[in-house]
Amino acid sequence: MTKRPPTLTQSSTAAYIRGLAAQHRVTYVQTSSDQLALHMTRLADDAIRPDEIEGLLFALQRAGHLSRQQLVHLQVQYLREAKQ
């Protein structure tokens, strides 16, 4: 019989993302495109501000360590855990 994978804790995805960023020595630096996106969502009355973890996801994807699909999967998983 195979062992079940460990159950995710509320912060397990955030910890995984932080660890991945540390492993690859990646940090989030806001770009002019990020600023433009923030202004556009604010003007559309739909202001969304990414937090530290989402910023790390963006940085990992920009650095080529995550595909777009992996970024979206991790972001959804992180946001679901944050809601609990």
Range of the domain at 76: 12-83
Q: Would residue 45 count as lying in a domain?
A: yes
- Between 17 and 11, the more confident residue is 17
Distance CA(16)–CA(29), nearest Å, equals 20
The total number of structural domains that make up the chain: 1
Report yes or no: 54 and 75 within 8 Å, Cβ to Cβ: yes
Q: Is the dihedral of CA 76, 36, 27, 84 positive or negative?
A: negative
Q: Would residue 49 count as lying in a domain?
A: yes
Amino acid at 62: R
Q: Would residue 7 count as lying in a domain?
A: no
Q: Would residue 72 count as lying in a domain?
A: yes
| Residue 74: both structure tokens together | 């991790």
Report yes or no: 26 and 60 within 8 Å, Cβ to Cβ: yes
Q: Would residue 6 count as lying in a domain?
A: no
**pLDDT(5) > 80:** no
pLDDT (0 to 100) of residue 48: 77
Distance CA(75)–CA(2), nearest Å, equals 29
**pLDDT(74) > 70:** yes
pLDDT (0 to 100) of residue 3: 42
Write the pLDDT tens digit of every residue in 15-64. Answer: 999 999 999 999 999 999 989 988 898 898 877 788 999 999 999 999 99
